[in-house]
Amino acid sequence: MLNNILETAINLIITLNKDLFEIISLSLLVTLTALIISVTISLPFGAFLVFYKNRVQSITILISNTLMGMPPVVLGLIIYTLVSKKGIFGFLDILYTPTIMIVAQTLLIIPIVTSLTYEEIYKKNKEYKLLLNSLNLTKYSKLKTLIYECRYALLTVALTGFGRASAEVGAVMIVGGNINHYTRVMTTSIAFETSKGSIELAVALGLILLLISLIITLLIKSLRRIS
């Protein structure tokens, strides 16, 4: 039985099954868009916090580190209450759309990228502090230099955020609704197809997710060796 399931699942991938690749395409669109937005916000913010040493910095890092461990279902519930018809952002009418799924994943990635960026820039700043001070550089110039020197480590941070978002199911299930041909992504599809007994499609999507995870792991290892 297992051999038949695997054979069917692999056949779905090889034959470029329309439903399968529709789900994969939406998953990548949502996750990559969320990643780009979150990195654009979090990377400079996390780096800036290194030079903003006061109580606000400490509280911000504490909050960011805490939110890294927030259960996605809790985040999804919070967003749902805000954008549902009775919520304060209900007028936007974006519940059960790919847009709100992108918002959910963006908010999931932001604390991860912020905290890890801060750690990488902080370590590099300690290493280069005397040199940078001796050159009488402005904070902005120091920031650019440190970001450049941490470029490979920061790419690893971005990949970590992508991996976290691509494997997430709770938040996108709640705010996206898992609507067929509209908001159904890989993780929600696996849960749904398994529950209804369509195990072949679930296995095919699982294999794709494992492949993505393997690629991310290999890229992170390669970047760590470079950095």
Nearest to 111 by CA among 148, 150, 74: 74
* pLDDT above 70 for 2: no
Q: Given this model, what pLDDT does residue 227 score? A: 64
**In this structure, what CATH number is given to the domain that contains residue 149?**
1.10.3720.10
Residue 38 tokens, joined: 């979150």
- pLDDT range class, residue 197, cuts 50, 70, 90: confident
Long-range CB pairs of 116-120 (<8 Å, 24+ gap) are 116/46, 116/157, 116/160, 117/42, 117/43, 117/45, 117/46, 117/47, 117/154, 117/157, 118/46, 118/47, 118/49, 118/50, 118/61, 118/64, 120/150, 120/153, 120/154, 120/157
Assess whether pLDDT exceeds 70 at residue 142: yes
How far lies 187's CA from each of 85, 194, 207, 209, 210, in Å? 26, 11, 12, 8, 12
Block residue for tokens 């991938």: 13
Please indicate, yes or no, whether the overall pTM of this predicted structure exceeds 0.75: yes
Query: What is the Cα 152 distance to its own chain's centre?
Result: 18
Angle of helix 18-49 relative to helix 186-195, nearest 10 degrees, comes to 130
Kind and range of the H or E run holding 142: helix 139-149
Parent domain of 155? 2-226
Number of domains in the chain: 1
- For residue 1, pLDDT over 70 is answered with no
What's the rounded mean pLDDT across residues 162-185?
Answer: 92
Question: Any idea which residue has 């996750």 for tokens?
Answer: 31
